[in-house]
Protein backbone atom coordinates (compact mmCIF):
# COMPACT_ATOMS: atom_id res chain seq x y z
CA UNK A 1 0.00 0.00 0.00
CA UNK A 2 1.38 3.39 -1.00
CA UNK A 3 1.74 5.75 1.93
CA UNK A 4 2.60 8.74 -0.26
CA UNK A 5 0.31 11.77 -0.51
CA UNK A 6 -3.09 11.05 -2.03
CA UNK A 7 -5.00 14.02 -3.48
CA UNK A 8 -8.63 13.97 -4.54
CA UNK A 9 -9.81 16.70 -6.91
CA UNK A 10 -13.49 17.06 -6.11
CA UNK A 11 -15.44 17.01 -2.87
CA UNK A 12 -18.77 15.43 -3.74
CA UNK A 13 -20.43 12.08 -3.15
CA UNK A 14 -17.71 10.01 -4.85
CA UNK A 15 -14.92 11.83 -3.02
CA UNK A 16 -16.58 11.43 0.39
CA UNK A 17 -17.12 7.70 -0.15
CA UNK A 18 -13.53 7.28 -1.34
CA UNK A 19 -12.27 8.94 1.83
CA UNK A 20 -14.49 6.74 4.01
CA UNK A 21 -13.38 3.57 2.20
CA UNK A 22 -9.70 4.50 2.44
CA UNK A 23 -10.12 4.97 6.18
CA UNK A 24 -11.78 1.55 6.41
CA UNK A 25 -8.88 -0.03 4.53
CA UNK A 26 -6.39 1.60 6.89
CA UNK A 27 -4.80 4.03 4.43
CA UNK A 28 -2.09 5.89 6.37
CA UNK A 29 -0.71 8.40 3.88
CA UNK A 30 -1.59 12.10 3.78
CA UNK A 31 -5.04 12.50 2.22
CA UNK A 32 -6.42 15.78 0.86
CA UNK A 33 -9.80 16.59 -0.73
CA UNK A 34 -9.94 19.73 -2.86
CA UNK A 35 -13.37 21.20 -3.62
CA UNK A 36 -14.28 24.41 -5.41
CA UNK A 37 -17.35 24.98 -3.22
CA UNK A 38 -17.01 26.21 0.38
CA UNK A 39 -19.02 23.29 1.80
CA UNK A 40 -18.25 19.88 3.26
CA UNK A 41 -18.90 17.07 0.75
CA UNK A 42 -22.66 16.89 0.29
CA UNK A 43 -25.48 15.02 -1.44
CA UNK A 44 -26.78 16.52 -4.66
CA UNK A 45 -30.09 14.61 -5.17
CA UNK A 46 -31.94 16.52 -2.39
CA UNK A 47 -31.08 19.84 -4.05
CA UNK A 48 -34.02 19.49 -6.45
CA UNK A 49 -36.27 17.86 -3.85
CA UNK A 50 -36.30 18.30 -0.05
CA UNK A 51 -33.63 20.99 0.19
CA UNK A 52 -35.31 23.11 -2.49
CA UNK A 53 -38.64 22.63 -0.70
CA UNK A 54 -37.10 23.78 2.57
CA UNK A 55 -37.82 20.45 4.23
CA UNK A 56 -34.21 19.82 5.30
CA UNK A 57 -31.46 22.15 6.50
CA UNK A 58 -28.07 22.69 4.91
CA UNK A 59 -26.27 20.52 7.49
CA UNK A 60 -28.48 17.56 6.57
CA UNK A 61 -26.96 17.55 3.09
CA UNK A 62 -23.47 16.85 4.40
CA UNK A 63 -22.34 13.25 3.92
CA UNK A 64 -20.05 13.29 6.95
CA UNK A 65 -19.64 15.82 9.75
CA UNK A 66 -16.47 17.90 9.93
CA UNK A 67 -15.38 15.78 12.90
CA UNK A 68 -15.06 12.70 10.67
CA UNK A 69 -12.46 14.34 8.45
CA UNK A 70 -10.64 15.85 11.42
CA UNK A 71 -10.47 12.54 13.30
CA UNK A 72 -9.27 10.70 10.18
CA UNK A 73 -6.59 13.30 9.52
CA UNK A 74 -8.10 14.23 6.15
CA UNK A 75 -7.24 17.70 4.90
CA UNK A 76 -10.18 19.54 3.34
CA UNK A 77 -9.16 22.31 0.95
CA UNK A 78 -12.53 23.91 0.22
CA UNK A 79 -13.42 26.91 -1.89
CA UNK A 80 -10.31 26.22 -3.97
CA UNK A 81 -10.03 25.48 -7.66
CA UNK A 82 -7.47 23.22 -9.33
CA UNK A 83 -6.37 24.72 -12.65
CA UNK A 84 -3.87 22.12 -13.80
CA UNK A 85 -2.22 18.73 -13.34
CA UNK A 86 1.54 18.47 -13.81
CA UNK A 87 2.05 14.75 -14.38
CA UNK A 88 5.83 15.04 -14.76
CA UNK A 89 6.13 16.67 -11.35
CA UNK A 90 3.25 14.61 -9.86
CA UNK A 91 1.60 17.81 -8.70
CA UNK A 92 -1.69 19.68 -8.97
CA UNK A 93 -1.75 23.43 -9.47
CA UNK A 94 -4.28 25.52 -7.57
CA UNK A 95 -5.75 28.81 -8.70
CA UNK A 96 -4.02 30.59 -5.81
CA UNK A 97 -0.64 29.46 -7.14
CA UNK A 98 0.02 26.55 -4.79
CA UNK A 99 1.52 23.33 -6.13
CA UNK A 100 0.62 20.19 -4.18
CA UNK A 101 2.56 16.97 -4.77
CA UNK A 102 0.86 13.59 -4.99
CA UNK A 103 1.83 9.94 -5.15
CA UNK A 104 -1.72 9.01 -6.11
CA UNK A 105 -4.30 11.34 -7.64
CA UNK A 106 -8.04 10.73 -7.85
CA UNK A 107 -10.24 12.80 -10.15
CA UNK A 108 -13.74 13.12 -8.75
CA UNK A 109 -14.56 16.27 -10.68
CA UNK A 110 -18.19 15.37 -11.33
CA UNK A 111 -20.30 17.12 -13.94
CA UNK A 112 -21.83 20.52 -14.51
CA UNK A 113 -25.08 21.82 -15.95
CA UNK A 114 -25.08 21.80 -19.74
CA UNK A 115 -24.97 25.33 -21.08
CA UNK A 116 -27.45 26.62 -23.62
CA UNK A 117 -26.83 29.61 -25.82
CA UNK A 118 -30.02 31.57 -26.31
CA UNK A 119 -30.82 35.23 -26.85
CA UNK A 120 -31.51 36.74 -23.42
CA UNK A 121 -29.78 33.98 -21.45
CA UNK A 122 -28.11 36.60 -19.26
CA UNK A 123 -31.34 38.25 -18.09
CA UNK A 124 -32.07 38.43 -14.38
CA UNK A 125 -34.38 35.58 -13.45
CA UNK A 126 -32.64 32.89 -15.55
CA UNK A 127 -31.01 30.10 -13.54
CA UNK A 128 -29.64 26.56 -13.46
CA UNK A 129 -29.95 24.22 -10.47
CA UNK A 130 -26.78 22.30 -9.74
CA UNK A 131 -25.24 23.59 -6.51
CA UNK A 132 -26.26 24.73 -3.03
CA UNK A 133 -25.77 28.33 -4.09
CA UNK A 134 -28.21 27.82 -6.98
CA UNK A 135 -30.91 26.56 -4.61
CA UNK A 136 -30.32 29.43 -2.19
CA UNK A 137 -30.85 31.87 -5.07
CA UNK A 138 -33.91 30.12 -6.53
CA UNK A 139 -35.82 29.12 -3.39
CA UNK A 140 -36.87 32.66 -2.30
CA UNK A 141 -38.34 33.24 -5.76
CA UNK A 142 -40.68 30.23 -5.66
CA UNK A 143 -43.68 32.16 -4.41
CA UNK A 144 -47.38 31.39 -4.93
CA UNK A 145 -48.75 32.47 -8.30
CA UNK A 146 -45.33 33.29 -9.74
CA UNK A 147 -44.77 31.90 -13.23
CA UNK A 148 -41.90 29.46 -13.67
CA UNK A 149 -40.81 27.98 -16.97
CA UNK A 150 -38.52 24.96 -16.84
CA UNK A 151 -36.52 24.31 -19.98
CA UNK A 152 -35.91 20.56 -20.03
CA UNK A 153 -38.12 17.67 -18.97
CA UNK A 154 -35.52 15.35 -17.46
CA UNK A 155 -35.36 14.13 -13.87
CA UNK A 156 -34.10 17.41 -12.41
CA UNK A 157 -36.62 19.50 -14.34
CA UNK A 158 -39.60 17.39 -13.32
CA UNK A 159 -38.47 17.06 -9.69
CA UNK A 160 -38.18 20.84 -9.61
CA UNK A 161 -41.63 21.16 -11.21
CA UNK A 162 -43.12 18.97 -8.48
CA UNK A 163 -41.59 21.02 -5.66
CA UNK A 164 -42.53 24.36 -7.22
CA UNK A 165 -46.11 23.25 -7.88
CA UNK A 166 -46.56 22.22 -4.25
CA UNK A 167 -45.38 25.71 -3.29
CA UNK A 168 -48.15 27.25 -5.40
CA UNK A 169 -46.00 28.30 -8.34
CA UNK A 170 -47.51 28.18 -11.84
CA UNK A 171 -45.18 25.83 -13.71
CA UNK A 172 -44.64 25.20 -17.42
CA UNK A 173 -42.18 22.62 -18.76
CA UNK A 174 -40.79 22.87 -22.30
CA UNK A 175 -39.01 19.76 -23.58
CA UNK A 176 -37.38 19.57 -27.01
CA UNK A 177 -37.49 15.75 -27.20
CA UNK A 178 -40.69 13.88 -28.10
CA UNK A 179 -41.20 12.77 -24.48
CA UNK A 180 -40.10 13.66 -20.97
CA UNK A 181 -37.32 11.75 -19.19
CA UNK A 182 -36.56 10.17 -22.54
CA UNK A 183 -32.92 9.34 -21.77
CA UNK A 184 -33.75 7.35 -18.67
CA UNK A 185 -37.07 5.54 -19.05
CA UNK A 186 -39.25 3.92 -21.70
CA UNK A 187 -42.28 5.46 -23.43
CA UNK A 188 -44.82 4.00 -20.98
CA UNK A 189 -43.12 5.63 -18.01
CA UNK A 190 -42.68 8.92 -19.89
CA UNK A 191 -46.40 8.99 -20.70
CA UNK A 192 -47.24 8.31 -17.06
CA UNK A 193 -45.11 11.24 -15.87
CA UNK A 194 -46.67 13.60 -18.39
CA UNK A 195 -50.09 12.58 -17.08
CA UNK A 196 -48.94 12.87 -13.46
CA UNK A 197 -47.67 16.42 -13.87
CA UNK A 198 -50.69 17.56 -15.82
CA UNK A 199 -52.94 16.17 -13.08
CA UNK A 200 -50.97 18.27 -10.60
CA UNK A 201 -51.47 21.41 -12.69
CA UNK A 202 -48.21 21.61 -14.62
CA UNK A 203 -48.28 22.63 -18.28
CA UNK A 204 -46.04 20.32 -20.35
CA UNK A 205 -45.11 20.78 -24.00
CA UNK A 206 -42.88 18.17 -25.67
CA UNK A 207 -41.28 18.44 -29.10
CA UNK A 208 -40.86 22.11 -28.32
CA UNK A 209 -37.75 24.16 -29.02
CA UNK A 210 -36.99 27.30 -27.00
CA UNK A 211 -35.80 30.12 -29.27
CA UNK A 212 -35.00 32.87 -26.79
CA UNK A 213 -35.74 34.78 -23.61
CA UNK A 214 -37.07 38.33 -23.59
CA UNK A 215 -37.18 41.20 -21.16
CA UNK A 216 -35.97 44.79 -20.86
CA UNK A 217 -33.65 43.98 -17.97
CA UNK A 218 -35.38 41.19 -16.14
CA UNK A 219 -36.94 38.11 -17.73
CA UNK A 220 -40.47 38.65 -19.00
CA UNK A 221 -41.13 36.09 -21.75
CA UNK A 222 -39.92 32.74 -23.05
CA UNK A 223 -40.14 32.47 -26.83
CA UNK A 224 -40.55 28.99 -28.29
CA UNK A 225 -41.51 27.56 -31.66
CA UNK A 226 -45.15 27.39 -30.69
CA UNK A 227 -45.53 30.85 -29.23
CA UNK A 228 -44.55 32.90 -26.19
CA UNK A 229 -44.94 32.35 -22.44
CA UNK A 230 -45.00 35.00 -19.75
CA UNK A 231 -42.47 34.05 -17.08
CA UNK A 232 -41.09 35.50 -13.87
CA UNK A 233 -38.44 32.83 -13.59
CA UNK A 234 -36.71 30.35 -15.91
CA UNK A 235 -34.64 27.36 -14.86
CA UNK A 236 -32.57 25.61 -17.50
CA UNK A 237 -32.26 21.87 -16.97
CA UNK A 238 -31.06 20.24 -20.18
CA UNK A 239 -28.66 17.70 -18.77
CA UNK A 240 -25.08 17.66 -17.54
CA UNK A 241 -21.62 17.35 -19.06
CA UNK A 242 -18.66 15.66 -17.36
CA UNK A 243 -15.85 17.84 -16.06
CA UNK A 244 -13.01 16.34 -18.09
CA UNK A 245 -10.98 19.45 -18.91
CA UNK A 246 -8.24 18.92 -16.31
CA UNK A 247 -7.82 15.32 -17.43
CA UNK A 248 -7.83 16.19 -21.11
CA UNK A 249 -5.29 19.00 -20.71
CA UNK A 250 -3.07 16.60 -18.75
CA UNK A 251 -3.12 14.16 -21.68
CA UNK A 252 -5.26 11.43 -20.10
CA UNK A 253 -7.40 9.25 -22.35
CA UNK A 254 -10.97 10.52 -22.86
CA UNK A 255 -13.90 8.45 -24.08
CA UNK A 256 -17.27 10.00 -23.17
CA UNK A 257 -15.66 10.97 -19.89
CA UNK A 258 -12.29 10.19 -18.37
CA UNK A 259 -11.55 6.65 -19.57
CA UNK A 260 -10.82 4.27 -16.70
CA UNK A 261 -10.31 0.52 -16.45
CA UNK A 262 -12.14 -1.97 -14.25
CA UNK A 263 -10.27 -0.63 -11.20
CA UNK A 264 -11.06 3.02 -12.04
CA UNK A 265 -7.45 3.67 -13.07
CA UNK A 266 -6.88 6.12 -15.93
CA UNK A 267 -4.29 5.85 -18.70
CA UNK A 268 -1.79 7.12 -16.09
CA UNK A 269 -1.28 4.36 -13.46
CA UNK A 270 -0.93 6.95 -10.69
CA UNK A 271 -4.27 8.63 -11.46
CA UNK A 272 -7.79 7.31 -10.87
CA UNK A 273 -11.17 8.80 -11.81
CA UNK A 274 -14.56 8.15 -10.20
CA UNK A 275 -18.14 9.40 -10.36
CA UNK A 276 -19.92 11.42 -13.05
CA UNK A 277 -16.66 12.31 -14.81
CA UNK A 278 -15.53 8.70 -15.29
CA UNK A 279 -16.19 6.41 -18.24
CA UNK A 280 -15.88 3.05 -16.52
CA UNK A 281 -14.97 -0.23 -18.27
CA UNK A 282 -17.38 -2.73 -16.74
CA UNK A 283 -16.13 -6.30 -16.60
CA UNK A 284 -19.68 -7.66 -16.61
CA UNK A 285 -20.39 -6.35 -20.11
CA UNK A 286 -16.95 -5.49 -21.53
CA UNK A 287 -18.30 -2.09 -22.45
CA UNK A 288 -17.61 1.39 -21.22
CA UNK A 289 -20.32 3.30 -19.33
CA UNK A 290 -20.54 6.72 -17.78
CA UNK A 291 -23.42 6.65 -15.31
CA UNK A 292 -24.56 9.85 -13.62
CA UNK A 293 -25.91 8.33 -10.43
CA UNK A 294 -25.29 8.06 -6.71
CA UNK A 295 -24.88 4.30 -7.01
CA UNK A 296 -22.16 4.60 -9.65
CA UNK A 297 -20.30 7.23 -7.61
CA UNK A 298 -20.35 5.09 -4.47
CA UNK A 299 -19.44 1.90 -6.31
CA UNK A 300 -16.52 3.43 -8.19
CA UNK A 301 -15.22 5.08 -5.02
CA UNK A 302 -15.14 1.69 -3.25
CA UNK A 303 -13.44 0.06 -6.25
CA UNK A 304 -10.77 2.76 -6.46
CA UNK A 305 -10.12 2.66 -2.71
CA UNK A 306 -9.64 -1.11 -2.83
CA UNK A 307 -7.27 -0.85 -5.79
CA UNK A 308 -5.25 1.93 -4.15
CA UNK A 309 -4.94 -0.08 -0.94
CA UNK A 310 -4.23 -3.31 -2.85
CA UNK A 311 -7.30 -5.00 -1.45
CA UNK A 312 -9.76 -7.28 -3.24
CA UNK A 313 -11.89 -5.12 -5.50
CA UNK A 314 -15.62 -5.52 -4.71
CA UNK A 315 -17.79 -7.03 -7.47
CA UNK A 316 -19.98 -4.80 -9.62
CA UNK A 317 -23.59 -4.47 -8.56
CA UNK A 318 -26.73 -3.90 -10.60
CA UNK A 319 -26.96 -0.16 -11.33
CA UNK A 320 -29.90 1.58 -9.69
CA UNK A 321 -31.44 5.04 -9.79
CA UNK A 322 -34.44 6.83 -8.30
CA UNK A 323 -36.58 9.95 -8.58
CA UNK A 324 -39.13 11.44 -6.16
CA UNK A 325 -41.95 13.53 -7.63
CA UNK A 326 -45.10 14.38 -5.62
CA UNK A 327 -46.23 11.17 -3.88
CA UNK A 328 -44.54 8.99 -6.49
CA UNK A 329 -41.21 7.20 -6.09
CA UNK A 330 -39.66 5.89 -9.27
CA UNK A 331 -37.02 3.21 -8.67
CA UNK A 332 -35.01 1.88 -11.58
CA UNK A 333 -32.57 -1.00 -11.71
CA UNK A 334 -30.44 -2.35 -14.52
CA UNK A 335 -29.92 -1.02 -18.04
CA UNK A 336 -32.65 -1.60 -20.63
CA UNK A 337 -30.53 -1.13 -23.78
CA UNK A 338 -30.93 -4.05 -26.14
CA UNK A 339 -34.21 -5.36 -24.74
CA UNK A 340 -36.51 -7.34 -27.03
CA UNK A 341 -39.59 -7.57 -24.80
CA UNK A 342 -41.44 -5.23 -22.46
CA UNK A 343 -43.72 -6.59 -19.73
CA UNK A 344 -46.05 -4.39 -17.69
CA UNK A 345 -47.37 -5.22 -14.22
CA UNK A 346 -50.19 -2.92 -13.18
CA UNK A 347 -51.86 -0.09 -15.11
CA UNK A 348 -49.70 2.86 -16.26
CA UNK A 349 -52.74 4.69 -17.67
CA UNK A 350 -54.53 4.94 -14.34
CA UNK A 351 -53.52 5.39 -10.74
CA UNK A 352 -49.93 5.84 -9.60
CA UNK A 353 -48.49 2.35 -9.17
CA UNK A 354 -47.07 -0.05 -11.78
CA UNK A 355 -43.83 -1.64 -12.98
CA UNK A 356 -42.28 -2.07 -16.42
CA UNK A 357 -39.81 -4.91 -17.02
CA UNK A 358 -37.34 -5.05 -19.90
CA UNK A 359 -36.25 -8.50 -21.13
CA UNK A 360 -33.81 -9.86 -23.67
CA UNK A 361 -34.13 -13.52 -24.62
CA UNK A 362 -36.19 -14.01 -21.44
CA UNK A 363 -33.43 -12.56 -19.21
CA UNK A 364 -34.47 -9.60 -17.07
CA UNK A 365 -32.32 -6.58 -17.98
CA UNK A 366 -34.03 -3.71 -16.17
CA UNK A 367 -37.11 -2.50 -14.33
CA UNK A 368 -38.85 0.85 -13.89
CA UNK A 369 -40.93 0.56 -10.72
CA UNK A 370 -43.43 3.31 -9.89
CA UNK A 371 -44.47 3.09 -6.24
CA UNK A 372 -43.59 -0.62 -6.40
CA UNK A 373 -40.80 -1.19 -3.88
CA UNK A 374 -41.28 -4.98 -3.88
CA UNK A 375 -40.94 -5.24 -7.66
CA UNK A 376 -37.81 -3.08 -7.52
CA UNK A 377 -36.12 -5.14 -4.81
CA UNK A 378 -36.85 -8.53 -6.38
CA UNK A 379 -35.87 -7.28 -9.83
CA UNK A 380 -32.49 -6.03 -8.61
CA UNK A 381 -31.72 -9.54 -7.44
CA UNK A 382 -32.97 -11.18 -10.64
CA UNK A 383 -31.01 -8.76 -12.83
CA UNK A 384 -27.87 -9.41 -10.83
CA UNK A 385 -28.36 -13.16 -11.30
CA UNK A 386 -29.03 -12.69 -15.05
CA UNK A 387 -32.11 -14.78 -14.42
CA UNK A 388 -34.48 -15.94 -17.12
CA UNK A 389 -38.07 -15.15 -16.18
CA UNK A 390 -41.61 -16.09 -17.14
CA UNK A 391 -43.10 -13.00 -18.79
CA UNK A 392 -46.64 -14.17 -18.06
CA UNK A 393 -46.00 -14.44 -14.33
CA UNK A 394 -44.25 -11.05 -14.32
CA UNK A 395 -47.40 -9.52 -15.83
CA UNK A 396 -49.79 -11.35 -13.48
CA UNK A 397 -50.23 -9.27 -10.32
CA UNK A 398 -51.51 -12.30 -8.43
CA UNK A 399 -48.24 -14.19 -9.07
CA UNK A 400 -45.50 -14.24 -6.45
CA UNK A 401 -42.55 -12.29 -7.86
CA UNK A 402 -40.13 -14.63 -6.14
CA UNK A 403 -41.47 -17.44 -8.31
CA UNK A 404 -41.04 -15.92 -11.79
CA UNK A 405 -37.74 -17.61 -12.63
CA UNK A 406 -37.82 -20.15 -15.45
Percent of the chain residues past pLDDT 70, beyond the cut: 99
Domain count, the chain: 3
The answer to whether the beta carbons of residues 8 and 108 sit under 8 Å apart is yes
The answer to whether the beta carbons of residues 300 and 272 sit under 8 Å apart is no
Whether residues 233 and 256 share a domain: the answer is no
Residue that is last in its domain, among 190, 218, 238: 238
Give the pLDDT confidence score for residue 282 in this predicted structure.
79
Whether residues 108 and 126 share a domain: the answer is no
Report pLDDT digits (tens) over 351-378.
Answer: 999 999 999 999 999 999 999 999 999 9
Residues 6+ apart with CB under 8 A from 282: 262, 288, 289, 316
Report pLDDT digits (tens) over 302-336.
Answer: 999 999 999 999 988 899 999 999 999 999 999 99
Whether residues 260 and 288 share a domain: the answer is yes
CA distance 125 to 139: 12
Whether residues 12 and 105 share a domain: the answer is yes
CA distance 305 to 326: 37
CA distance 237 to 28: 41
Nearest of 287, 293, 362 to residue 321 by alpha carbon? 293
The predicted model gives 66-76 an average pLDDT of 96
CA distance 198 to 179: 14
Q: How many CA atoms lie within 13 A of 366 on its CB side?
A: 20
The CATH code of the domain that includes 183 is 3.50.50.60
The predicted model gives 37-62 an average pLDDT of 96
Whether residues 178 and 211 share a domain: the answer is yes
Instruction: Assign 284 a pLDDT band (cuts: 50, 70, 90).
Output: low
Report the mean per-residue pLDDT for the chain. Answer: 95
Whether residues 395 and 295 share a domain: the answer is no
Give whole-number Cα distances, 8 to 4, 86, 165, 187, 279, in Å: 13, 14, 39, 40, 17
Whether residues 22 and 69 share a domain: the answer is yes
Q: Which domain holds residue 173?
A: 115-238
Report pLDDT digits (tens) over 30-49.
Answer: 999 999 999 999 999 999 99
Residue that is last in its domain, among 183, 204, 238: 238
Whether residues 99 and 123 share a domain: the answer is no
Whether residues 264 and 299 share a domain: the answer is yes
The predicted model gives 243-256 an average pLDDT of 97
Range 30-49 burial, b when 16+ CB lie within 10 A, else e: bbbbbbbbebbbbbbbbbbb
CA distance 12 to 16: 6
Give the pLDDT confidence score for residue 287 in this predicted structure.
79
Nearest of 251, 248, 242 to residue 274 by alpha carbon? 242
pLDDT greater than 80 at residue 283: no
pLDDT greater than 80 at residue 285: no
Residue that is last in its domain, among 195, 212, 238: 238
Nearest of 67, 12, 76, 69 to residue 45 by alpha carbon? 12
pTM above 0.85, yes or no: yes
The answer to whether the beta carbons of residues 276 and 240 sit under 8 Å apart is yes
pLDDT greater than 80 at residue 8: yes
Whether residues 102 and 128 share a domain: the answer is no
Report pLDDT digits (tens) over 97-138.
Answer: 999 999 999 999 999 999 999 999 999 999 999 999 999 999
Residue 321 falls inside a structural domain? no
pLDDT greater than 80 at residue 2: no
Residue 322 falls inside a structural domain? no
Between 294-308 and 13-24, two packed helices, what is the crossing angle to 10 degrees? 40
Residue 333 falls inside a structural domain? yes
Give the pLDDT confidence score for residue 288 in this predicted structure.
87
Give the pLDDT confidence score for residue 1 in this predicted structure.
46
pLDDT greater than 50 at residue 66: yes
The predicted model gives 237-241 an average pLDDT of 94
Give the pLDDT confidence score for residue 15 in this predicted structure.
98
Residue 348 falls inside a structural domain? yes
Report pLDDT digits (tens) over 205-224.
Answer: 999 999 999 999 899 999 99
Whether residues 16 and 73 share a domain: the answer is yes
The predicted model gives 295-299 an average pLDDT of 95
CA distance 29 to 357: 46
The predicted model gives 187-199 an average pLDDT of 97
The CATH code of the domain that includes 373 is 3.30.390.30
Whether residues 178 and 134 share a domain: the answer is yes
Beta pairing partners, 282: 287
Amino acid sequence: MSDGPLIVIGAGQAAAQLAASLVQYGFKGPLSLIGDEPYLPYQRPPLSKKFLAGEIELEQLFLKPAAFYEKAGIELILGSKVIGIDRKASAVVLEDGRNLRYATLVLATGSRAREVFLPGIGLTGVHVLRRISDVETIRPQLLPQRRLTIVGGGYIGLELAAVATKLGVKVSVLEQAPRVMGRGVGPLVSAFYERLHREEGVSIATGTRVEGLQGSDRLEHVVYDGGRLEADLVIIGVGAVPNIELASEAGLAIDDGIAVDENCRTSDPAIFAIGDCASHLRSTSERRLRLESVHAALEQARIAAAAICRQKVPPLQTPWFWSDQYDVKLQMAGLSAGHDEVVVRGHPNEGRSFAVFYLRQKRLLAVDAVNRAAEFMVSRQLIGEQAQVDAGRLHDETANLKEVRL
